Structure 1
Amino acid sequence: MSDSIQGTGNAAVAEAVSDADLLAETATAVGAAGSVLRERFGDVVRHRTREELMSALAANDDAVLDVLRPRLESLRPQAGWVEEELAGGALPSGEWWVVDPAEGNVNHLHGLPDWGVTATLVRDNQAVLTAVHLPLTGETYTALAGGGAHLDGRPLRVSETTDLGLSLVATSQARPDENQAVIRRIGSSITSMLGDALVVRTSVPATLHLLNVAAGRIDAFWQFAGARADLLPGALLVTEAGGRISDAEGRPWTPASESLLAAAPGVHTAAVATLSR
């Protein structure tokens, strides 16, 4: 899909508030937008064709953005806006809002509980702050670069496990129409992890797995391919909670990387070895 980006991304405009204050306002914004998504949740949304499915997904996105976008744009009028939530790669310099109005949208339509609203501010290709709201539980996860990761104000820390063989790990599918090379890589990585880890979970969306890594509930998450909106919020949360972020081969991760591994420090090296086989 093409990457549609709007705005100047001009970070030279004077900052009116601190990043910590901005994060608090961002958390309020995703909470308000999440209320819209919660009100739309209920029965399975039936669809007979791909066109009907895509229309239902877009309707959720649009309803949330009607609330979320004006709030975020009022917070940082100079920041650009990334239109395409499945886009990846580097952004132009300056500030950009990277938003997923319905992360786990397909779950929402199927009456499953794994979905939320995310907003991340990126400055010169570095995630500065992020807020993830889960409307069904009312939980809000936040992270500020250099300021830690929190769940409703309580600090988050990754797992202290040091044994991959005792670890609960997870992976996700970046998009429905992956190319065959990525599909084969996903399958072989799951097979490898089934032999080395205690339990392997496979589900979407990526952000919810990354929240669990940051909270110490699971020990590692990996994904091949992916989008900024899928991975940036959770990557910042895991980093600020003391976890390690790399690609699947252990190299530094960027939004342009072909894979992501987020893990507790004690199992990161072992996870890289498993995924590199």
Structure 2
Amino acid sequence: MTARQLADELEVSVPTVYRDVEALGAAGVPLYGAAGHSGGYRLVGGYRTRLTGLTVDEAQAAFLVALPGAAELGLGEALAAARLKLRAALPAELREHAERIQERFLLDAPGWYGGVDRVPHLAAVAAAVWERRAVALRYRRWRAPEEIERRVEPYGLVLKAGRWYVVAGGPSGIRTYRVDQILEVRPLDEEFVTPDGFDLAGYWNVYAADFRARLHTADALVRLTPEGARCLGVTPTGDGWTEARVPIESIGHAHRDFLRLGADVEVLAPAELRNRIAETARTLATRYEG
């Protein structure tokens, strides 16, 4: 490649290319240049470099390749550079395989019906996680008082269904905070040490199981058509109605969820839920009559 081609590719000036080629030669890279119309710089045939030259940000980004939110963490440019260096270091057959994966598979984490959360403080929280630095948070929550301020030690970040959470230690122990509900982040001049034995994946598994247990506080007995059974993930017992017991979060949530199934579900119990759905059905019938 000519110096001009290299400069255009790397978005630098031609004099910078000249300096960098000299530096590479001094470092032992077998580059040579040929003058003339068809000249340019070449590597000695067969030369391969070991994977070197990754910056700290690029090395961190390389381990976040699977996360769809890597750019939101402020690592978009570093991730692109790390991928370029990793691809260049791979043997030809593995490089082709990696490129096929990138061409044929895409991970898009958020669900269809949920908007993408704005997370303006994600990069600041991620920096505190990397640096093991305590922060002061101003946080919005669902119960009173709705806004709180708290000093926390951010142990790790979790991306769940397109939503970011930070797991942090604080005055009440280890807690989980939604990053999109953080109103302000103020880094403190205090480093911390993660507690011995803390494992982010292990903590999250326990937290998620406990959340599901608290979420589903009761059961509902229902009859489902084959289509209703499919929507709820229930195995139908035949071509007709299937009776099943399904967990519910609350009467209000179950009322909305079962109404989405329309005539494909009949609630048998609890009576409060059945009566509430029946009342809604009567109201709708009156509203749409004629």
TM range (shorter): under 0.3
Q: Greater helix percent: which structure?
A: 2
Give the TM-score taking structure 2 as reference length. Answer: 0.22
- Higher relative contact order, chain-length normalized (CA < 8 Å, sep 6+): 1
Q: Whose radius of gyration is greater, 1 or 2?
A: 2
Give the TM-score taking structure 1 as reference length. Answer: 0.23
